[in-house]
A and B are shown apart, each in its own frame.
Chain A
Amino acid sequence: MPQIAQLSATYASQIFWALIFFGFVFFVVGRGFVPKVQATVANRDKQIADDLAAAEAARRAAEAEEANWAATSNKQRAEAQALIAKAKAEGTKASEARLAQAASVIDARMAEADARLATARAQALTEIETVASEAASDIVARLAGLSVEGDAARAAVKEVLHG
């Protein structure tokens, strides 16, 4: 095994060069480049984290904006609805008033017409009574030869007519 057979002849050289080369690796590569690489990675991670945070903030802002807009539009829609409802109510009220007015005019005319009808009927009734009492007294005079007083005939006719 050369590792042992050559030990006494080569150990100094082996240890010396191992220290030299490992020292070079440690001081130049390990202490020189590795921190730089680590800094690069850390920088990149930080930048990515910052970008993500910025994107998140932008998203939040957009969401707030949208909520704001939704609230405004809801409010405006509600206002418009209220306006429409008010206009509708006013229209209904106006048409009701006009309907009521027209109805009262019609009622008045109907009442007037009713009154006229009643008057005409009463007149007709009295005329019928007069004619009937005259006819009755004529009939009595002709059949029985009795002359009946106008008032008595009228009362008799009235009694028959009205029961």
Chain B
Amino acid sequence: MAEQGKVDPMHQFMIEPLFGTDQWTIAGHNIAFTNSALWMLISVGVLFAFVAGGAKGQTVPGRWQVMVEGLVGFIDNLLAANVGPKGKKYVPYIFSLFSFILFSNVLGLLPLGLFGIHPFTATSHFTVTGVLAILSFSIVLIVGFARHGLHFFSLFVPHGTPAWLLWLIPFIELISFLVRPFSLALRLFVAMMAGHVLLEVLSSFVISSANSGVLWGAVVGLPSFGLMIAICALEILVAGIQAYVFALLTSLYLNDAENLH
């Protein structure tokens, strides 16, 4: 906010180095600890506290333990439904993926700006979502080739492909396969960014209209504020859904790699 009533909707995505700007480098690449890293750390800390608090292993669980067991059971069921019994070993990975994204998304939505703290949604940067997407894609490739060898390429010829289409279908399948890491990363990044930009734009409407007088504040500001509240609810939903979609798609891709056709 450079001047009164002027909101830059993109400002919230600015990465600001906090410390280590000059001295921390790996092979010449600067790895400064930024606000993005800080909010990832906060997400990880909250996630760790949440899971550690619920991993008491009591036979008769408390509320907290039920929540953690519910989350683990949710991922467990997801993999059991999409991959089958072989999916059991991916529960730690999918759980980490889902909960890391979920906590980053939700913590980035907290209205902490009211207290002067500006939350940063690490998952609104494709550099972060890209890391997760490439990890998932690499695991799919490694598992697929380790389990099926070169036979894994038959993934590009789906069941029931007519012989006269064999020149086209594998090409389309290959493209759709190669697009997977990009679609995974971009979907999450775009969904997070769009919601935050929308909220920021609406808030700028509220501020500008209220500054221009009572009439404009009532005509433009109040409806915008109502819309903001509704979109906040939607964004909480999106935060959960995007984490779920990322985990679900990864498990579907893992299913391709584990149970080829």
Contact = CB atoms under 8 A, between A and B. Distances in A.
Contacts of A17: 31, 33-34, 36-37, 40-41
A150 interface: no
A1 B10 contact: yes
- Interface residues of A, dominant DSSP: helix
Contacts of A2: 10, 13-15
A56 to B, nearest CB: 21
Interface in B33-82: 33-34, 36-37, 40-41, 43-44, 47-48, 51-52, 54-55, 57-59, 61, 65, 68-69, 72-73, 76
B76 A38 contact: yes
B47 A29 contact: yes
A18 B96 contact: no
A39 B55 CA distance: 10
Interface string A92-107: 0000000000000000
A44 to B, nearest CB: 6
**Chain B interface size, under 10 / 10 to 19 / 20 to 34 / 35 or more:** 35 or more
A37 B131 contact: no
B34 to A, nearest CB: 6
A29 B99 contact: yes
Contacts, number: 137
**Chain A interface size, under 10 / 10 to 19 / 20 to 34 / 35 or more:** 35 or more
Interface stretch (B120-128, B150-158, B175-183, B235-243): B120-128
A3 B44 contact: no
Contacts of B131: 14-15, 18-19, 22
Contacts of B76: 38
Contacts of B126: 3
A18 B128 contact: yes
B51 A29 contact: yes
Contacts of B95: 29-30, 34
Given A2-B10, A14-B15, A19-B131, A33 B52 contact: yes
12 contacts: A1-B10, A2-B10, A2-B14, A3-B13, A3-B193, A6-B14, A12-B31, A21-B44, A29-B51, A30-B92, A35-B92, A40-B59
Interface of A: 1-3, 6-7, 9-19, 21-22, 24-26, 28-31, 33-41, 43-44, 47
The 9 closest A-B pairs by CB, nearest first: A12-B29, A30-B92, A14-B127, A17-B37, A30-B96, A18-B131, A26-B96, A21-B40, A2-B13
